[in-house]
Amino acid sequence: MDFDYDLFVIGGGSGGVRAARVAAGEAGAKVALAEGDRYGGTCVIRGCVPKKLMVFASEYSGMAAEAEAYGWSASITDFNWNTFHGKLVEELDRLEGVYRRLLAGSGVETFDQRAKIADAHTVELADGTRKTAKHILIATGGTPVRPDMPGAELGIVSDDIFHLPEMPKRILIVGGGYIACEFAGIMNGLGVETTLYYRGAQILRGFDDEARGLIADEMRDNGIDIHTGTNVLEMKKTDSGAIWTKGSNGHEAEFDVVLFATGRKPMTDDMGLEEVGVKLGRAGEIVVDKYSQTAVPSIYAIGDVTNRVNLTPVAIREGMAFVETVFKGNKTAVDHDLIPSAVFTQPEMGTVGLSEEQAAQQEPIEVYSTSFRPMQTSFAGQQKRVLMKLIVSKETRKVLGCHIVAPGAGEMIQMAGIAVKMGATKEDFDRVCAVHPTMSEELVTMRKPTRTA
């Protein structure tokens, strides 16, 4: 059977674009890609990139006071959202242009419209046009979830926060995951009175307890009003245009903006997947094997739509492994174990491997942990603390987990992640000479365990 293409990719995010251009440019495949929104996907357009730029912007607010403690005469006036947002839009436009040029340069044909599956080898575009392909790759990503409650339509989700017409004076953020906590730090740093509701007992569920406890303390010290064990029961618009909310803890208040950061879901709705035999999981994710193949042999899926490890670098690796497997005859499975990651809260967290709680359930461990005031902020009279932590197997001496809460933790964990991934032992860490004076030297100078479990 003759097909229009060797590969048709649905989704123009980081994973889909990488797979498309490598299949076309390196493997010589005839490739097409359809994207109904902007090229670059969640990370580039409405996630990692604009969020990190907002983190940078928000961190300047505290620099004047610190600079004065070091002898500088400094002042920072009000944040101008319009100035920043104009540059942000320009940057996202530039990055989208880069993605489009990469595809065109690799010979990938693009369709700027939504696509869905018609059968095992056929894609139907939004205008009704049908295209056939020997292989179909779904890389549609995920989308924020809006809760089912009275007045929920008055709130915004993370996609919307990059397009606010103006900075609010008061914001309520609902959720306790990394997205909620990152935006709480951002908005607080930009001068917005920030309140966070989370229904659980502690924010950042799933991360190391000691690390998330320190982050919660620091967020509160920074001025964020955190209400744990709390959810929004009701919302309504007031005559003044504010949003009145009532929390499950009885807390009533008015806000200019309510941001729901209560989770994300795979974008699999109305794609014709189950009709052709692609299996979906309980959260709507596409079920795939270790080679990213679905129950339909000609259809594959990568990235957040599979709900495996929802990180941009992982989606890119999955896209590369797909091309190796399908177009280069080299069956390649992505290794999802020991993936370093960073949470851009304030302070930042970097983490790789098991938390103390996870490791203790698995085997006997030693915990090496130290929390202290770093030199730079301590000199300025600030009470900010950082955390350096290693989880070590008693039996093998391998470092099972490394957790850092500190400015630049994301940069540090990238390097620590190499050692942990290689299977370094605590004694391997100990043999490395410290770089002094740094915060990270603590990772190689902790000699006695803080506790065992």
* Per-residue 3-state assignment (H helix, E strand, C coil) for 378-400: HHCCCCCCEEEEEEEECCCCEEE
Residue 158's pLDDT band, with cuts at 50, 70 and 90, is very high
Instruction: Please indicate, yes or no, if residue 120 is contained in any of the structural domains.
Output: yes
d(CA 237, CA 256): 10
Domain boundary among 281, 300, 328: 328
Place of tokens 């992640």: 417
Answer yes or no: do 133 and 276 share one domain.
yes
d(CA 431, CA 408): 24
Does pLDDT of 268 surpass 90? Answer: yes
Residue 426's pLDDT band, with cuts at 50, 70 and 90, is very high
Q: For position 376, what pLDDT does the model report?
A: 96
Answer yes or no: do 228 and 125 share one domain.
no
Query: Around Cβ 414, how many Cβ atoms within 10 Å?
Result: 14
Write the burial class of residue 334 (CB in 10 Å: 0-12 exposed, 13-18 middle, 19+ buried). buried
Instruction: Please indicate, yes or no, if residue 209 is contained in any of the structural domains.
Output: yes
Averaged pLDDT, 315-326: 98
Domain boundary among 273, 295, 328: 328
Answer yes or no: do 305 and 174 share one domain.
no
Instruction: Please indicate, yes or no, if residue 335 is contained in any of the structural domains.
Output: no
Q: For position 412, what pLDDT does the model report?
A: 98
Residue 310's pLDDT band, with cuts at 50, 70 and 90, is very high
Cis bond before residue 147 (omega within 30° of 0): no
d(CA 359, CA 391): 8
- State the CATH number of the domain containing residue 107: 3.50.50.60
Residues annotated in a binding site for NAD(+): 175-182, 263
- pLDDT for 12-43, tens place per residue? 999 999 999 999 999 999 999 999 999 999 99
Q: Which residues pair with 338 in a beta bridge?
A: none
- pLDDT for 41-83, tens place per residue? 999 999 999 999 999 999 999 999 999 999 999 999 899 999 9
CA distances from 289 to 14, 92, 163, 282, 313 (A): 21, 34, 38, 16, 19
Run of H or E including 103? helix 81-105
Answer yes or no: do 393 and 445 share one domain.
yes
Continuous H helices in 230-342: 273-276, 312-327
Instruction: Please indicate, yes or no, if residue 439 is contained in any of the structural domains.
Output: yes
Averaged pLDDT, 326-345: 97
Q: Which domain holds residue 408?
A: 341-452
Instruction: Please indicate, yes or no, if residue 96 is contained in any of the structural domains.
Output: yes
Catalytic residue among 163, 227, 251, 436: 436
Residues annotated in a binding site: 52, 175-182, 263, 304
Answer yes or no: do 9 and 108 share one domain.
yes
Answer yes or no: do 358 and 211 share one domain.
no
- pLDDT for 227-253, tens place per residue? 999 999 999 999 999 999 999 999 999
Instruction: Please indicate, yes or no, if residue 122 is contained in any of the structural domains.
Output: yes
Mean pLDDT across the chain:
97
**436 classed as catalytic:** yes
Does pLDDT of 408 surpass 90? Answer: yes
Residue 1's pLDDT band, with cuts at 50, 70 and 90, is confident
d(CA 419, CA 401): 11
Instruction: Please indicate, yes or no, if residue 219 is contained in any of the structural domains.
Output: yes
Answer yes or no: do 300 and 288 share one domain.
yes
Averaged pLDDT, 187-192: 97
Domain boundary among 212, 232, 261: 261
d(CA 218, CA 159): 26
Q: For position 401, what pLDDT does the model report?
A: 98
Answer yes or no: do 138 and 157 share one domain.
no
Answer yes or no: do 151 and 250 share one domain.
yes
Answer yes or no: do 218 and 285 share one domain.
no
Q: How many CA atoms are closer than 13 Å to the CA of 450, on its beta-carbon side?
A: 15
pTM over the 0.95 mark: yes
Averaged pLDDT, 282-309: 98
Domain count, the chain: 3
Residues annotated in a binding site for FAD: 52, 304
Answer yes or no: do 9 and 128 share one domain.
yes
Answer yes or no: do 296 and 210 share one domain.
no
Residue 344's pLDDT band, with cuts at 50, 70 and 90, is very high
Instruction: Please indicate, yes or no, if residue 334 is contained in any of the structural domains.
Output: no
